[in-house]
Amino acid sequence: MLPCGSTCQHMHPMASSASDSGRRPLPPLLVVALAFRLSRLSAMAMKSYRYQAEMLVKDYLLADPFVRYTSVLGGIFMCKMAYDFTQLISSFYFKGYASLTKIQRIEWNNRGMSNAHAVFITLMSLYLVFFSDLFSDSSEGLVTFRNSDLSTFTLGVSVGYFMTDLAMIFWLYPSLGGVEYVLHHMLSIIAISYSMLSGEGQLYTYMVLISETTTPGINLRWFLDTAGMKRSNAYLVNGVAMFFAWLVARIFLFLYLFYHIYLHYDQIQQMHTFGYLLNFLVPVALFAMNMMWFGKILKGLKKTLAKRQ
């Protein structure tokens, strides 16, 4: 028998050769094949997740009778996320955020939440009123009774927002708004909730909600003022933009709404009594408030322009 040392010396080159061959790189074609296989598996997994998400939305979130309740909860959850996101972003990117008072920080975050709802409801309202076939004149059925799962879900999200914002207004009253804000939010909750639950008058509800397009400008004015930028060009430009946006979205649009109601009065008469009354009283009350606020905006804009002359 050979000594161990001799055996080890004899076997060492073979072991080294085997080890080297084990560390050889894979052939390029095999690497490409494996990468292609992994990409296909990833694509299949993504399609599976997307399908499951679509089924969840279709069979639960947008399915009767759950849509009304899940949408309101979704609106409240959206408010919480927007509030926390505004707080997080502001603490990192706005140096003056930490120096604000507690009430100012709460209102700052609250207005970020308000912006999130305004962007969402404006886009959805514009789509449903002007771009979808739901309220098109070519569609069948009375326009006052048309609705869909998507339109109902969207209204529920808005109800969730107004409930959350109204709760914060009551909690810190009157720091986040006075009587006019309470009245505005209560009218909005009643009208939107009725339209969501009954399916009646959703077209006119969405036409009113388009007016939320002015909200980001109002909030930006407050942000700039709180940040000490009241004399900046951004403040002036925002004021001018807010003036025209308010004129279009809260004055002219409401006049068009009243004209549309006049043209379709025979259909509105077929609504339930409560819905019929809401269809007239809420737009009129909101229009009166819009005119009052528009006067304040005009007065403030004149004052700002006078200081710059």
- The model's pLDDT over 109-145, given as tens digits with 9 standing for 90+, comes to 999 999 999 999 999 999 999 999 999 888 888 999 9
Has residue 80 been placed in a domain? yes
pLDDT for residue 29: 65
Residues 48, 191, single domain; the answer is: no
pLDDT value at 258 more than 70: yes
> Which residue is associated with the tokens 């004052």?
303
Strand, coil or helix: 148: coil
Q: What is the separation, in whole angstroms, between the first and last Cα of the chain?
A: 110
Q: DSSP string spanning 233-245?
A: HHHHHHHHHHHHH
Same domain, 32 and 153: no
In the predicted structure, residue 217 carries a pLDDT above the cut 70: yes
DSSP 261-290: HHHTHHHHTTS-HHHHHHHHHHHHHHHHHH
pLDDT grade for 9, boundaries at 50, 70 and 90: very low
Using CA atoms, how far apart are residues 202 and 128, in angstroms rounded to an integer? 10
Q: Are residues 154 and 220 in the same domain?
A: yes
The pLDDT score that the predictor gives to residue 6 is 45
**CA neighbours within 13 Å on the CB side: how many for 309?**
6
pLDDT of 10 reads 45
Question: In whole angstroms, what is the distance from residue 239 CA to residue 220 CA?
Answer: 9
Indicate if 215 and 234 belong to the same structural domain.
yes
Do residue 170 and residue 102 come from a single domain?
A: yes
Examine residue 17 and state whether it is found in any structural domain, yes or no: no
| Signed CA dihedral, 226, 232, 235, 236: sign only | positive
Do 144 and 198 fall within a single domain? Answer: yes
Same domain as 139, residue 34:
no
Residue 42: which domain range? 26-61
Residues 127, 179: one domain? yes
Does 190 fall in a domain?
yes
- Residue 3: inside a domain, yes or no? no
In a domain, 147, yes or no: yes
Residue among 252, 4, 213, 11 at smallest CA distance from 114: 213
Give the tens place of pLDDT for each residue, 86-102. 999 999 999 899 999 99
> Are both 267 and 160 inside the same structural domain?
yes
Q: Do the domain assignments include residue 122?
A: yes
Indicate whether 72 and 215 sit together in one domain.
yes
pLDDT of residue 8: 46
The model carries a pTM of 0.79
Whether residue 215 is found in the same domain as residue 264: yes
Length of the chain in residues, anyone? 309
Summarize pLDDT for 17-33 with one digit per residue, the tens: 444 445 566 566 666 66
Q: Which of 78, 240, 87 is nearest to 162 (CA)?
A: 78
Asked if the structure places residue 296 within a domain, the reply is yes
Half-sphere exposure of 264 (CA within 13 A, CB side): 22
CA angle, residues 157, 189, 59, in degrees to nearest 5: 30
Identify whether 88 is part of a domain: yes
Q: How far apart (Å, rounded) are the C-alpha atoms in residues 129 and 212?
A: 14
- pLDDT for 254 beyond 80: yes
Average pLDDT over residues 38-46: 70
Helical residues (DSSP H) of the chain, grouped into ranges:
4-22, 28-56, 67-93, 102-126, 149-171, 179-198, 202-209, 215-226, 233-246, 253-263, 265-268, 273-307
Is residue 7 over pLDDT 70? Answer: no
Looking at the 3D structure of the chain, how many domains does it have? 2
Pick the more confident residue, 67 or 240. 240
For residues 134 and 200, membership in a common domain is answered with yes
pLDDT tens-digit series, residues 138-174? 888 899 999 998 999 999 999 999 999 999 999 999 9
Q: Which has more confidence, 305 or 256?
A: 256
Q: What is the mean pLDDT of the chain?
A: 87
At residue 308, the pLDDT reads 76
